[in-house]
């Protein structure tokens, strides 16, 4: 019995990793504001706290007191400046206002230009996700090539390659659909 008879690509692992890339994309999309305040818009923003990148919700309490305001009550006074800096540099287009250890984020109305900018950012997020999916595809193909070198038959090789390609195509379609939905949401006034 050769290795080829019992080779089976771990499609569950590939699916899990591709699902992870999609979940990351959904988190990034949630951060793109559509003119309403939400705590999730701060999820991708990392603060350099104690020497490592840390999510804002781990250095302070994030609240949404009204539809156009997010507040962050920073627990450690020494991190207030770093949280403010992280928000300014995040590309969210929000101008933080300090009030002691509380950072207030007034959410401005989205103008046409800002909406277009946000659709571009959404496109970049989607492209990063496509790249991640293609890298996972390459990982799968590399495993198949390795199995081929270990005696996998050409028919089996073609079968597994078409499986990996079909998975990749289906995830790319999901990304494109999610992007289209998000861009429509952003452009709605």
Q: Are residues 128 and 81 in the same domain?
A: no
61: domain range? 36-106
Helical (H) or strand (E) element with 66:
strand 60-66
What CATH code is carried by the domain that includes residue 43?
A: 3.30.1360.40
Q: Which of 106, 140, 164 is the last residue of a domain?
A: 106
Please determine, for residue 116, whether its predicted confidence score (pLDDT) is greater than 90: no
Q: Are residues 18 and 59 in the same domain?
A: no
Q: Which of 45, 73, 106 is the last residue of a domain?
A: 106
Number of separate domains in the chain: 2
Q: Are residues 136 and 175 in the same domain?
A: yes
Phi-psi region of 37 (alpha: psi -120 to 50; beta: other; left: phi over 0): beta
Q: Is 8 helix (H, G, I), strand (E, B) or coil?
A: coil
What's the pLDDT band for 14 if we cut at 50, 70, 90? Answer: very high
Instruction: Please give the mean pLDDT across all residues of the chain.
Output: 88
Distance separating alpha carbons of residues 86 and 58, to the nearest angstrom? 14
Q: Are residues 24 and 116 in the same domain?
A: yes
Q: Which of 106, 138, 156 is the last residue of a domain?
A: 106
Q: Are residues 96 and 124 in the same domain?
A: no
Per-residue pLDDT, averaged over 84-100, amounts to 86
Q: Are residues 116 and 183 in the same domain?
A: yes
Q: Is 107 exposed, middle or buried (0-12, 13-18, 19+ CB in 10 A)?
A: buried
What is the residue-wise DSSP string for 10-46? -HHHHHHHHHHHHHHHHHHHHHS--SS--GGGGTT-E
Q: Are residues 181 and 140 in the same domain?
A: yes
What CATH code is carried by the domain that includes residue 136?
A: 1.10.132.20
> Are the beta carbons of 30 and 68 closer than 8 angstroms?
no
Q: Which residue has the tokens 């705590």?
A: 39
Considering the entire predicted model, what is its pTM?
0.67
Q: Are residues 61 and 95 in the same domain?
A: yes
Q: Which residues contact residue 60 at a Cβ distance below 8 angstroms, ignoring those fewer than 6 apart?
A: 72, 73, 74, 75, 79, 83, 101, 103
pLDDT of residue 4: 45
For β-strands 52-55 and 46-49, DSSP reports them as: antiparallel
Q: In what order do the strands lie in the sheet with 69-74?
A: 60-66, 69-74, 102-106, 97-99
Q: What is the pLDDT of residues 126-168, one digit of tens each?
A: 999 999 999 999 999 999 999 999 999 999 999 999 999 999 9
Q: Are residues 130 and 179 in the same domain?
A: yes
Helical (H) or strand (E) element with 187:
helix 154-187
Q: Are residues 101 and 145 in the same domain?
A: no
Q: Which residue has the tokens 């995040």?
A: 90
């Amino acid at each position: 019995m050769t290795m080829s008879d019992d080779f089976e690509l771990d499609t569950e692992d590939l699916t899990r990793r591709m699902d992870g890339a999609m979940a990351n994309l959904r988190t990034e999309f949630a951060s793109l504001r559509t003119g309403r305040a939400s705590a999730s818009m701060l999820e991708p923003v990392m603060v350099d706290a104690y020497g490592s990148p840390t999510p804002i919700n781990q250095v302070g309490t994030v609240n949404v007191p009204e539809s156009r305001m997010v507040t962050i009550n920073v627990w450690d006074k020494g991190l207030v400046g770093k949280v403010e800096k992280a928000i300014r540099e995040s590309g969210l287009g929000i101008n933080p206002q300090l009030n002691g250890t509380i950072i207030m984020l007034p959410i401005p109305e989205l103008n046409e230009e800002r909406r277009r900018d946000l659709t571009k950012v959404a496109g970049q997020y989607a492209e990063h996700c496509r790249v991640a999916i293609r890298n996972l595809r390459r990982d799968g193909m590399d495993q198949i090539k390795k199995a081929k070198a270990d005696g996998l038959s050409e028919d089996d090789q073609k079968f597994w390659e078409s499986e990996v390609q079909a998975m990749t195509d289906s995830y790319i379609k999901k990304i494109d659909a999610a992007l289209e939905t998000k861009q429509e949401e952003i452009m709605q006034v």
